[in-house]
Chains A and B, each alone.
Chain A
Amino acid sequence: MKQAKNRLHNVVILGATPAGVAAANKLGELGVPTILVDKEADLDRKLSDDAYRLASGVPLNYANRPGLIRILRNSNIRCLMPAQVRSVRHSQQGFRVQIDPQPTYVDPERCTLCGRCVEVCPVCGQNGHQPIHIESRMALPGRAVIDKRREPLCQANCPLGVNVQGYMALTAAGRYEEALEVIRRDNVLPAICGRICTHPCEAACRRSEKDGALAIRDIKRFVADRASGAPKAASKAVPANGGDPIAIIGSGPTGLAAAADLARQGFPVTVYEREKEAGGLLRYGIGPHRLPRKILDEELAAIEAEGVRFVTGHEVAMPEGLARMGRDHRAVIVTTGSWADRNLGVEGESLKGVEGCLSYLNRFYRGDDNHVSGRVAVIGDGNAAFDLARVLNRQGAKVTMVSWFGRDEIPADADEAQAAFEEGIEFRERCQVVGFSGNNGSLKAVQVRATQPGPADADGIAWPVIVPESRTEALAFERAFVAIGQTGAYSDMPSSNGWHVSDRGLIASDEFGRSGMAGVYVAGDAATGATSVVKAMADGRRVAGKVVEDLSGWAAGHGQRRIVALRPETQDFDPVPEDLPRQERTVMPELPVERRQVNFNEVALGFDEEQARSEAARCLQCGSCAQCLACLPVCEVNQAICHDEETETILENTGVLIVADPEMAPGIRGDDVIRAYGPPAAKTDVHAMMLRGFSAAARAMVLLKQHGMRMKGRGISFVPPDAGLDRNVRIGVFACRCNDSLGWSEGMDACLAQLNTQEDIVHCEAVPSACTPEGIQHLVDAVRDQGLTRLVLASCVCCPLNFVCSACTDQRSRLKQGLFEGTDISRSMVQTINLRGEVLRHLAKDEALAVSLFEGIITRSVRRARKLLPFPAPVRNYNFTTAVIGQTEAARYAALTLARAGFEVLMFGSAKHPLDETPDHSHIFAFDGSSVQAVGGTIGNFQIHTECGDGPRTFNVGGVILGEKSRNIAIYQHHVDLPGVKVQARMQKDQVPGIPYMYPCATSIAGLFLADPPGIQISKRTKGEAAAVMSAAAMPNGPRQSRGFSVVIDKTLCRGCGRCLKACPYQAISLTINGLTDNKKPGFTAVVDDALCKGCGNCISVCPSNAADSPFRDQVYLEQTLEELLMAGSRS
């Protein structure tokens, strides 16, 4: 670096390794804004790695759980998990880090880990993993994670974008109604498309590479038929506004799709149809053997049920009628299709007996012509031609198809052609109709010439050409039907007033479907020419969307809330497993040929349930999450699932960069990159890793020193801001239903209602989820509004204390934080019950038991709430100077690091080595020749008893760092008349009892640290820096709430026997003169130092006279609990 950076006061830590977490903890305690980034989603899982297991046998995630929870609750720390680092660059202010947070689609502040989403998710991936999963209730952050991949190809290839994977999953799970709902979101004609769709989805199916594409269309049909009836979700939509309707002219697929979309968004819609019945091409163009009319009627009814009004037998003259329509309607969409048959353009086409396909079908379905017999030709080889041939065949005609292409090249669907051949339809391949010959104006023969494949065009299609020397052959037919396609219906119409018609007879429009006439749109075949049903529908929706957009003021939100689920387009699918068990595509059973004659019974019979489910289960679930949104209703209260979560790259300008996991940030170089990891060959020593993390935090602290406002001197008093316990008892009872994830019973409501009759219970309520922001706010509001002074909180929270044990969860801690921090609600006024763990878990198996447990536990808690004790509120004085004792290399680094970070340091020699050499820094005050005899006192207020050259002197400091190895540190004296005790500094080890859990560098005395912790192979410098940051972070930087768990000793009962002193590993207990003196030997009484006490209560169990007790769950409380659990008549 050529020039010193002017660093921003924040830190980015890459990698939540033990080192990264340790660094984050210390920086968080120092109040430095910190971002912790990791690839994984869950801190708990990350640290549960067996490599990090401590020598005591405890996995690190449990041992360091308080630290992990504090990271989540520290407002200075932001956890970006899971996330990837895109780039890291040096900048003048430090570093510019680009971070790509990976979406989890679940809000960590709102998720309650209730697990209902996981239960309801129908998807089970190939490896058995659900796309939404909960690692455990211990997850940190405590939220479910949804795995999504890019859009599955089936959906991408569907013009309507139907969520195929979604309904495959739901079908496989036997949840047909939901499956149908998923289909209907994008396709309002599921039963119809389940029969006649050209299913481009299947062509894209990744399973086709293996053992055949999924029979998607057939499954759709099954679902639609099975779950038919008015769809539940789309119950009669009420137009949001009684304004003018939108008119849709034409009730074919385009019009229906557009109408349904508009209706769903709250618009009144009227569909005008010139024929007697709605359906357009679906009714007047497609054979009932493929599309039974009952199905069509049902689908129309379903659309009507969504609020679409149909007006049939209403012809609108084009274009004149449009102007009038425009006056009565907010907009008009023309979806009249392309009804004209294409001509062959050969001689004799106007003979009687020669007719276009659609023209005939139209008359046939209207009932105008239903008798065709004799030898008939169908000219053409597309789907329409085959359909026509089969319709004619069913009337008893002898049908021959005259095809341009060879039999293997025809463009119609293979199954459609196959069905026709099976039904006995003859097929003349490779001949082109060159004319019709007749007699008396009636057809007699069709003249054809042989064709051969021509040169392939750009798409690879070899369009047939007439074999040059072939001769014309006359084929005798009584009637011939030209089925070579359609053109627009408006070819004869002149353009006027913005109404333009193309030479293909199509209505001209811009790319958004707007015609030249104001407010008139065109969609579907009328604009694009003939396509498939699904494309026509897609076009209808596209234009409908544009209409909505154009009608400003009708923005989304009027109708059904539509969640646009997002997918990460860069996340690819898992590869199709090599060992995927082979399972052939299920073949749809069909009506036997002999039973198809002279009737229009549906040929394809549909799947039975077993077939449908097993076929749907073949789906590879390419996109992982199917986006079926089945999880949304169960999370309605919490609103934690956000399928539309969008993540953007975060550009973080940071002053300091700590790399704890080199894989997270390859390539960044520079002296000022703080690295908190060892060489790759280093054995995983979790304590060394933590020391590296502490040391990294220390270096960060030094780099940021110019911003660090350091407390200096002493005398600041921190008064715990606790509201205390009001004498007036006004009890509020809150039972958290945990989103009903384990169920809820009316009996519990009845129990709560019963409580309301007690005089001092002023509020009783079951809340849906207590730990969500709304839940917490609701509790706080209730306390304030009703002046509650005692709370019974029945949720999953086990204690109201400012205390984290290895079983605490994100949900518990955030509820406690929300309830107690900055709200004026005292922890001492709350009686907590782990309702979830102790009661609700029984509900599913035995409701009566659960209700009786509920009554018992609530009643007991109310009784206890009346007897709650206030927590003591100690006021403390603090000194912000640190003493460093000894002059080992590590001690000197510790002193220097603190000094450079802006702390004042006093340096002394140790008992054996008087101080002779000190680092040169203006913040270090060295006492040459001094040697420390003893250390007494407590964090924030230690006394260093030294022997200086001029005699004994005592210094007051806030923190102490010992340079000597632990075997030498028998210098701590909690009382002048008692021998110094050996401070515990060893780390816990399996089967070696007596050592409390400590972080490396720490000792059993809070505020007293070791610069050179033994048994950890790492540099002296790292150790010294680690000790420095430990000491710095231990300095108070804000008021502390009173700790209800500290033991309090009743002076009148204390016998001063000292058993408690021996029981306390933290030296939290000392003796003071109790005033009962006979002038010879004073009596002593034990006192507990609130700053050192950890609340374990080991002293309580050895006290002979009941003098020691904890205000939280004291002896009386425990005895009452036992009594209530055991005595006759009590229920628990």
Chain B
Amino acid sequence: MQAEFKIVLFLCNWGPHAAYQALQDQGADIPMEIKMVRIPCSGRISKALLFKPFEMGADGVILLGCTPGSCRYGTGTASALENSEDTRQILDLLGLGRERLQLGNFLPDEPEALLDFLNDFTDRVRRMGKTPVAAPVAIKDQPYSEEAPEAIAARHDVFACQDCGKCTSACSLALAGKPFSPRFVATEVIAGHADRLQVRESVNACLTCGVCYDRCPSAVNFPEFIKEMRAYYHHREVGGAPAHGGFFQSMMRAMTSETVQPKRWQNLPEGIRTSKQSPVLFFGGCASYFDIFFRKFLGVETERILEDSLRLLNFFDVEPMLMENERCCGHDLLWSGDRENFLRLAKLNAQAIADSGAEEIITACPECYHTLATEYARHGLELPVKVTHMHAFLEREIGKGAVAFKTPEGRFTFQDACRQSRFNGEAELPRKLLKKMFAKTPDALVDAQAPTECCGNSAWIGCDAFSKQMQVQRLERVRQSGSDKMITACPKCQIHLRCAMEDAMHGDDLRVEMMDLTSAIARSIYWA
């Protein structure tokens, strides 16, 4: 009989494999729930692969490696511990529970102990019950109907392209040296070559920063065109592989199950005041997940942006409501082509927002802001609330006067968030805030007049050597301009630029301190 529960077992080739095989040879009753995948070392399994089974509806995952000190390759034990601990924390945040993922370490001559472990884990999973994640619907079974590339091109008026090349000459990727050209993509799709590998790769590589749209004399909305082309490829299952093993897309898809109840706001620092009933709903975004995921390498602390936002709201006497089970807004799914799951998320969010009774949503994340304010409506989901970016709220409140800012130390530059500055045309909004912050020391703000180029990545796709090159160039320019601090407006800009600073060769040459604009304000504002 087939088991009711499904547990994936990642089995390291060395100690545990020998023990597992002894169990097989002895005809031991290995629980039927367990589905084994053999791997060379427990350190081989990335967080993405640890999480992937949960997206697929697994009820539990086991990672088996060698006991500390006996890893064949030395490093596996520690890597496995880090990867599984991070993933466990994320499972907690998602409301799946860390207990569904377990790392085990065994010597080759410990089959009995291994069997006990497998039985215990399986019993635990049985007690916890089925995973709240519904098994995903195969792409071919999804109701979304595929649209011909020509139709997409037509809708976005790509035919209007005059072949002038302004887009390419402004494109950050092209400037970084990548053989990439928006014009090329446009002409190829028009010519009916959408399924050519080179076209597909270009569509996936596009940063969707929108610079080309800014420059296009025919106002071809290239990012929108790219977004829909990605949906087309996704539906044909030839989309590109997302970076980080697709961890974030995986996590977001898991959130599309209604039965998943994330425990989003478990660890708020003390002193932050929120309310169960409030006309203002604060929408956090995915920063907490990012911080766990990138803890080891980048040490990003994007959750601070949320905490600082809440502090600022409190500062201005707003006690916002939080949605305990807040889900991802769906931005990255939408922009990596998975429109189906974006819509599922969006519907759940729209319902939850409507149920909350709030009148206004405030968010500090430009992607959340753009998605909630614009994309939901584009996809037929009109939210019954006003969506406000944190910066707009601040501009409104600070404009009332009676506040002042401590003088920031150091020389700063600003990094635009493309969803804010270009998609929503609000490049001036952060600059107004910056101007106020630096009112006393305008010279400390360097090179921050014009909107900057993209941070190099979007929606966790298209990451490669060229995006790195682009980021390196950006950071070099920052350093050359004499800045040592960068103010950002999007958590992802922080993540991506920090990643570029992590470089075995360049070392500290690229290091720039980063902080979010909201945090910068929160830390310097005071009642005058």
Distance in angstroms between the alpha carbons of A1052 and B202 in the assembled complex? 13
Minimum C-beta distance from B294 to chain A (A): 9
Residues of chain B with a CB closer than 8 A to A852's CB: 2
Range, interface on chain B? 35 or more
A984 touches B297 (CB 8 A): no
Residues of chain B with a CB closer than 8 A to A1107's CB: 464
A978 touches B465 (CB 8 A): no
Given A807-B21, A1056-B503, also A991-B74 (CB < 8 A)? no
Distance in angstroms between the alpha carbons of A1097 and B14 in the assembled complex? 14
A984 nearest in chain B by CB position:
B74
B504 touches A1071 (CB 8 A): yes
Given A992-B69, A1106-B241, A1119-B52, also A1071-B24 (CB < 8 A)? no
Other-chain contact of B6, A977, A1121, A1126 (Cβ < 8 Å): A1126
B473 touches A806 (CB 8 A): no
Other-chain contact of A1053, B44, B463, B503 (Cβ < 8 Å): B463
B465 touches A1076 (CB 8 A): yes
Any chain B CB within 8 A of the CB of A75? no
Range, interface on chain A? 35 or more
Any chain A CB within 8 A of the CB of B450? no
Any chain A CB within 8 A of the CB of B104? no
Of residues B14, B40, B45, which shows the largest number of chain A Cβ atoms within 10 Å of its Cβ? B40
B178 nearest in chain A by CB position:
A1076
Any chain B CB within 8 A of the CB of A997? yes
B49 touches A805 (CB 8 A): no
Of residues B68, B75, B472, which shows the largest number of chain A Cβ atoms within 10 Å of its Cβ? B75
Chain A positions 790 through 827: 1 when the CB is less than 8 Å from some CB of chain B, otherwise 0: 00000000110000011100000000000000000000
Distance in angstroms between the alpha carbons of A463 and B503 in the assembled complex? 111
Other-chain contact of B49, A988, A1063, A1118, A1126 (Cβ < 8 Å): A1118
Other-chain contact of A1051, B77, B465, B500 (Cβ < 8 Å): B465
A801 nearest in chain B by CB position:
B40
B296 nearest in chain A by CB position:
A1102
Any chain A CB within 8 A of the CB of B444? no
B464 touches A1052 (CB 8 A): yes
Q: Which of B30-38, B144-152, B329-337, B415-423 contacts A (4 or more CB under 8 A)?
A: B30-38
B6 touches A1084 (CB 8 A): no
A996 touches B52 (CB 8 A): no
Q: Which of B53-61, B218-226, B267-275 contacts A (4 or more CB under 8 A)?
A: B53-61
B8 touches A1105 (CB 8 A): no
A1098 touches B17 (CB 8 A): no
A57 touches B83 (CB 8 A): no
Minimum C-beta distance from A712 to chain B (A): 34
B469 touches A806 (CB 8 A): no
Distance in angstroms between the alpha carbons of A1084 and B20 in the assembled complex? 41
Distance in angstroms between the alpha carbons of A836 and B21 in the assembled complex? 10
Given A1080-B476, A1101-B83, A1132-B35, also A1056-B69 (CB < 8 A)? no
B67 touches A990 (CB 8 A): yes
Minimum C-beta distance from A396 to chain B (A): 67
Any chain A CB within 8 A of the CB of B73? yes
A1098 touches B75 (CB 8 A): yes
Which residues of A194-209 have CB atoms within 8 Å of chain B's CB atoms?
none
Distance in angstroms between the alpha carbons of A867 and B467 in the assembled complex? 30
Which residues of A1075-1090 have CB atoms within 8 Å of chain B's CB atoms?
1076, 1078, 1080-1081, 1083-1085
Any chain B CB within 8 A of the CB of A330? no
Which residues of A1098-1132 have CB atoms within 8 Å of chain B's CB atoms?
1098, 1100-1107, 1110, 1113, 1115-1116, 1118-1119, 1121-1123, 1125-1128, 1131-1132
Chain B positions 119 through 151: 1 when the CB is less than 8 Å from some CB of chain A, otherwise 0: 000000000000000011010000000000000
A978 touches B72 (CB 8 A): no
A1098 touches B76 (CB 8 A): yes
A853 nearest in chain B by CB position:
B2
Which residues of A12-69 have CB atoms within 8 Å of chain B's CB atoms?
48, 54, 56-59, 62
B67 touches A1105 (CB 8 A): no
Of residues A48, A806, A1085, which shows the largest number of chain B Cβ atoms within 10 Å of its Cβ? A806
B21 touches A1074 (CB 8 A): no
B6 touches A1055 (CB 8 A): no
Distance in angstroms between the alpha carbons of A1083 and B472 in the assembled complex? 9
Residues of chain A with a CB closer than 8 A to B292's CB: none
B107 touches A1126 (CB 8 A): no
Any chain B CB within 8 A of the CB of A846? yes
B464 touches A1096 (CB 8 A): no
Question: Can you spell out 29 A-B residue pairs with CB atoms less than 8 angstroms apart?
Answer: A54-B70, A56-B70, A57-B67, A57-B69, A57-B107, A62-B109, A136-B25, A137-B25, A806-B13, A807-B18, A834-B24, A977-B505, A988-B70, A991-B68, A1056-B503, A1057-B504, A1058-B503, A1064-B75, A1066-B73, A1081-B506, A1096-B73, A1097-B39, A1100-B46, A1101-B44, A1104-B243, A1105-B244, A1105-B464, A1126-B35, A1127-B135
Query: 5 shortest A-B CB distances, which residue pairs?
Result: A1058-B504, A1097-B44, A996-B74, A1096-B73, A1126-B56
Residues of A within 8 A of B (CB): 48, 54, 56-59, 62, 136-138, 798-799, 805-807, 834, 836-838, 841, 844, 846, 848-849, 852, 977-978, 984, 988-997, 1004, 1045, 1051-1059, 1061, 1063-1066, 1071, 1074, 1076, 1078, 1080-1081, 1083-1085, 1094-1098, 1100-1107, 1110, 1113, 1115-1116, 1118-1119, 1121-1123, 1125-1128, 1131-1132
